[in-house]
């Protein structure tokens, strides 16, 4: 195993052993080790244990101290206050630990895999066919992609599902219009750009809608078309496929702009479950989970009521026999659990759909499809707000086009990059590339650095700011290390555990030591914002380190230069790995 035991965990183990030696009757007691301002760590567990054992806490603490074998790991341990322990680890232990991370043969910086990895099916990045993507789709894609990277990094088997909205009665109108205007969408996928594809769809949608609302005969033909579609009429299906294909051209262009890999086979839209819908309903009805109510097949919940106090059911099948969103999601659960063999189902979907998922999951539980060994969670996210704190709209009150938004972010970022480009000696090509990485990184980081459930303000000025909790701050921290490494000439990074560390070096080292635990924690709790917070703190400690410690000073002995290069290099590698998990690039020169 290439994983490296963290100092926290090593100290914890030492203390737990000392504690059980001092107090054999509570052999598996937790010393409650925490980070501390006064020392590296503080153990808070003794007070409660002493109380339980009717012992004097300070005396018990002193006994624990006596049991801690002084050695390479712990430099200092002392009793403080009513019975806390302050613990300082040795400089040697810090550097040796970091050296083990740096030389991890698996290239994972010593980050362990999860204890019991399983299979997770994650539903994210799910726009709708023939419709413009909006900022909500952006959030799902960005958060989902980070969770995918994190889970895969910890050894989980991840199956991605893009549950696009590709079915429904609106297609009757679109298909009928296409039937009557056969030359529309008559091109190869390679002949149109994403933007052209979207504008084609938009034009068709508006034209079809216009006819549908004004022309009764067209309306009738469109309704008949829905029946043909549902019956699987091959010609109708072929026309429906054209809309799906045209939409995919557009989706892929947005995902590419987002610098995100979305794979075609992972796109299994609502239509992908059509064959399962009848069976899903039959199973629910036969087991009594769903009941007929006024012709519709419904599932009722004690705690879901409308404003009038009447129960609001989940409708699995409408009274006219049609299936809706819920039937599709319930079928998708069966597919994911029984065919894909998932242990965990994740849904990265807007918080406004929380009631839907609550009812769908509860229905699946009642049906026995979900249970102790298969669980489902919605990673609900909040709304994207404009600078004014209201839901994000253009000045004219329209929804903002995702493409325009991303283009603007890249434009702003390119200006920021260009400002410094001359000093760094960047070519025009590098400016363009970095502008993309900084702009897209800014958008992703702004989304990922606040807890997903919270609404956040989309503020481009703030997002590309060089100071503060932004991706570009982290990207500059990374690039600065690369520039130092280039300037170092002959001197190469090398760990020197025999050296005494300055306070800023220790702080940086201890933060690097926490990387593995942070990644595991963040992956287990699906909270990428905690990884962003970790990385921001790491970059801030790097800044403090530069202020207090010269790296390439001629006054430094060679070992000090090497050891400091080692520290900044490992910091950069950790930043790179962390940013990669968030889907953000770290250019070498910026
Ligand atoms: N399994 C699901 N229902 N996933 C979410 C789909 C999101 C839906 N297409 C929308 O745009 O709102």
Angstrom distances, CA of residue 349 to CA of 121, 148, 356, 548: 14, 15, 11, 45
Q: Which of 38, 54, 89 is the last residue of a domain?
A: 89
How far does the centroid of ligand 1 lie from the alpha carbon of residue 126, in Å? Answer: 6
| Domain CATH number, residue 445 | 1.10.730.10
Is residue 460 situated within a structural domain?
yes
CATH number at residue 38: 3.30.1360.70
Q: How far is the CA of 325 from the centre of ligand 1 (A)?
A: 9
Q: Could you tell me the residue range of the domain that residue 46 belongs to? A: 7-89
* Ligand 1 atom closest to residue 325's alpha carbon, by position in its atom list: 3
- Residue 474 in any domain: the answer is yes
Supply the ipTM of this predicted assembly. 0.99
| Within a domain: 18 | yes
Q: Which long-range contacts does 456-462 make (Cβ < 8 Å, 24+ apart)?
A: 456/382, 456/384, 456/385, 457/385, 457/386, 457/387, 457/389, 458/135, 458/384, 458/385, 458/386, 458/387, 458/392, 458/405, 459/387, 460/408, 460/409, 460/412, 461/412
Residue 43, domain member (yes or no): yes
Q: What is the pLDDT along the chain (590 residues), one digit of tens a residue?
A: 578 999 999 999 999 999 988 888 877 888 999 999 889 999 999 988 888 889 899 999 999 999 887 778 999 999 999 999 999 999 999 999 999 999 999 999 999 999 999 999 999 999 999 999 989 899 999 999 999 999 999 999 999 999 999 999 999 999 999 999 988 998 888 899 999 999 999 999 999 999 999 999 999 999 999 999 999 999 999 999 999 999 999 999 999 999 999 999 999 999 999 999 999 999 999 999 999 999 999 999 999 888 898 899 999 999 999 999 999 999 999 999 999 999 999 999 999 999 999 999 999 999 999 999 999 999 999 999 988 888 888 777 787 888 999 999 999 999 999 999 999 999 999 999 999 999 999 999 999 999 999 998 999 999 999 989 999 999 999 999 999 999 999 999 999 999 999 999 999 999 999 999 999 999 999 999 999 999 999 999 999 999 999 999 999 999 999 999 999 999 999 999 999 999 999 999 99
Question: How many domains is the chain built from?
Answer: 2
d(CA 468, CA 464): 10
Tell which of 89, 121, 143 closes a domain: 89
Per DSSP, the residues of 187-203 read S-GGGS-HHHHHHHHHH
CB-based contacts of 524, cutoff 8 Å, min separation 6 = 114, 154
In a domain, 122, yes or no: no
Determine which residue's CA is closest to atom 2 belonging to ligand 1.
163
In a domain, 380, yes or no: no
Tell me how far the alpha carbon of residue 353 lies from the centroid of ligand 1, in angstroms: 9
User: Is residue 79 in some structural domain?
Assistant: yes
Q: What is the DSSP string of 288-333?
A: TSSEEETTEEEE--TT-B-TTS-B--EEEE-TTS-B-HHHHHHHHH
Interatomic CA distance for residues 195 and 491, integer angstroms: 50
Mapped to the 3 state alphabet, what secondary structure does 357-396 carry? HHHHHHHHHHCCCCCCCCEEEEEEECCEECCCCCECCCCC
Which among 487, 475, 468 has a CA at the least distance from the CA of 564? 487
Spacing, Cα 127 to ligand 1 middle (Å): 7
Separation CA 302–CA 311 (nearest Å): 7
Last residue of a domain, one of 66, 89, 112: 89
- The alpha-helical segments, DSSP class H, found in 375-467 are 402-424, 428-448, 460-463
Cα separation of 576 and 562, whole Å? 21
Residue 359 lies in a domain: no
Q: Which residues line ligand 1 (CB under 6 A)?
A: 123, 126, 128, 163, 165, 329, 332, 347, 349
């Amino acid at each position: 195993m290439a994983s490296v035991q963290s100092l926290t965990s090593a100290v914890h183990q030492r203390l737990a052993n000392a504690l059980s030696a001092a107090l054999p009757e509570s052999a598996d007691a937790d010393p409650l080790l925490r980070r501390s301002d006064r020392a590296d760590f503080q153990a808070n567990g003794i007070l409660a244990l002493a109380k339980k054992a009717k012992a004097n806490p300070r005396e018990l603490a002193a006994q624990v101290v006596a049991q801690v074998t002084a050695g390479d790991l712990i430099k200092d341990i002392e009793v403080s206050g009513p019975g806390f322990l302050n613990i300082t680890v040795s400089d040697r232990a810090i550097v040796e630990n970091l050296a083990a991370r740096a030389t991890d043969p698996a290239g994972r910086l010593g980050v362990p895999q999860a204890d019991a990895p399983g299979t997770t099916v994650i539903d994210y990045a799910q726009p709708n066919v023939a419709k413009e993507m909006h900022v909500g789709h952006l959030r799902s894609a960005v958060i989902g992609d980070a969770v995918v990277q994190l889970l895969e990094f910890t050894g989980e088997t991840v199956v991605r599902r893009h549950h696009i909205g590709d079915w429904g009665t609106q297609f009757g109108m679109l298909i009928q219009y296409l039937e009557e205007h056969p030359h529309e969408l008559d091109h190869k996928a390679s002949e149109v750009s994403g933007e052209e594809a979207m504008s084609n769809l938009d034009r068709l949608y508006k034209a079809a809608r216009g006819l549908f609302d004004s022309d009764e005969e067209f309306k009738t033909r469109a309704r008949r078309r829905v029946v043909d579609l549902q019956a699987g009429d091959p010609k109708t299906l072929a026309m429906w496929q054209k809309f799906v294909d045209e939409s995919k051209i557009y989706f892929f262009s947005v995902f590419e702009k987002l610098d995100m890999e979305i794979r075609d086979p992972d796109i299994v839209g609502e239509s992908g479950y059509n064959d399962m819908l009848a069976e899903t309903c039959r199973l629910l009805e036969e087991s009594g989970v769903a009941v007929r109510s006024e012709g519709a097949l419904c599932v009722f919940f004690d705690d879901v009521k409308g404003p009038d106090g009447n129960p609001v059911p989940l409708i699995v099948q409408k009274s006219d026999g049609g299936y809706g969103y819920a039937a599709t999601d319930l079928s998708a659960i069966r597919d994911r659990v029984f065919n894909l063999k998932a242990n965990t189902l994740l849904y990265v979907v807007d918080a406004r759909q929380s009631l839907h998922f609550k009812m769908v999951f509860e229905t699946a539980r009642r049906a026995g499809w979900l249970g102790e060994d298969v669980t489902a969670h919605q990673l609900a996210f909040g709304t994207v707000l404009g600078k004014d704190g209201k839901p994000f709209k253009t000045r004219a009150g329209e929804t903002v086009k995702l493409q325009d938004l991303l283009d603007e972010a890249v434009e702003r970022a390119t200006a920021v990059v260009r400002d410094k480009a001359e000093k760094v000696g960047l070519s025009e090509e590098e400016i363009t590339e970095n502008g993309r990485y900084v702009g897209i990184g800014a958008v992703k980081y702004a989304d990922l650095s606040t807890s997903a459930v919270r609404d956040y303000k989309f503020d481009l000025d703030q997002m590309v700011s060089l100071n503060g909790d932004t991706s570009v701050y982290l990207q500059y921290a990374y690039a600065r290390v690369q520039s130092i490494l280039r300037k170092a000439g002959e001197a190469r990074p090398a760990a020197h555990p025999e050296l005494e560390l300055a306070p800023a070096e220790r702080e940086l080292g201890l933060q690097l030591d926490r990387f593995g635990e942070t990644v595991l924690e963040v992956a287990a709790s699906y909270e990428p914002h905690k990884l962003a917070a970790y990385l921001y703190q790491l970059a801030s400690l790097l800044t403090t380190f530069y202020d207090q410690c010269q790296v390439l000073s001629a006054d430094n002995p060679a070992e000090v230069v090497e050891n400091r290069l080692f520290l900044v290099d490992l910091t950069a590698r950790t930043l790179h790995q962390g940013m990669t998990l968030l889907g953000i690039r770290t250019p070498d020169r910026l």
